Amino acid sequence: MSESLPTAASVPPVLRVSSGKDRFGEHRGLGISHIDFKMASQDNSAIFILENTFHAKGGPARHLHYDQDEWFYAVEGEFVIEVGQDRFTLRPGDSLLAPRKVPHVWAYVGEAVGRMLIVFTPAGRMEAFFREVTKANAMPPQDPALWRAHGMELVGPPLHVG
């Protein structure tokens, strides 16, 4: 059986995002860090990828995603991640998958700059969540309604980092 080759009209365009750049050329701050969208839901609804660059210690509140698995890849610096009852330290080159419906929390704990790639699959409402919360240039507020509206549940405070 012969397979036909894809036509130019059926092949999605190549998407290249340069180092240190956002997919849309926008700046998104979270107070202690900034994020660059690398692949957004309009590019591929199956995944949403962001790069989070930290200049201070900290991270989001403990939460869970109803429909997304969240994959973390440490590029630079050191991160502590708790998934369920398990605690892990991620250093450059380490990765970890936090399955959907399992509470997790994480924080940058290094001394210099920290960078992490984060992938959400499927993309769901994660892009909309980060577009909303970065308007205030602060870590996402501990507002249960905001998190629930984006398919997540707040289940505890951020990790304490000294």
Look at the domain 24-153 and name its fold.
Jelly Rolls (2.60.120)
User: What are the sequence ranges of the domains in the chain?
Assistant: 24-153
Cβ–Cβ < 8 Å for 152, 105: no
Q: What is the largest CA-CA distance in the chain?
A: 63
C-alpha–C-alpha distance, residues 124 and 23, integer Å: 18
What pLDDT is attached to residue 74? Answer: 98
Which tokens go with 104? 């997790």
pLDDT for position 162: 75
Mean pLDDT, the chain cut into blocks of 10 residues (162 residues total)? 64 82 94 95 86 96 98 98 98 98 97 96 95 93 95 96 82
Q: What is the pLDDT of residues 76-88, one digit of tens each?
A: 999 999 999 999 9
- Which parts of 24-137 fold into alpha helices (H)? 126-133
| The pLDDT of residue 2 | 59
pLDDT of residue 122: 95
What is the pLDDT, as a whole number, of residue 6? 63
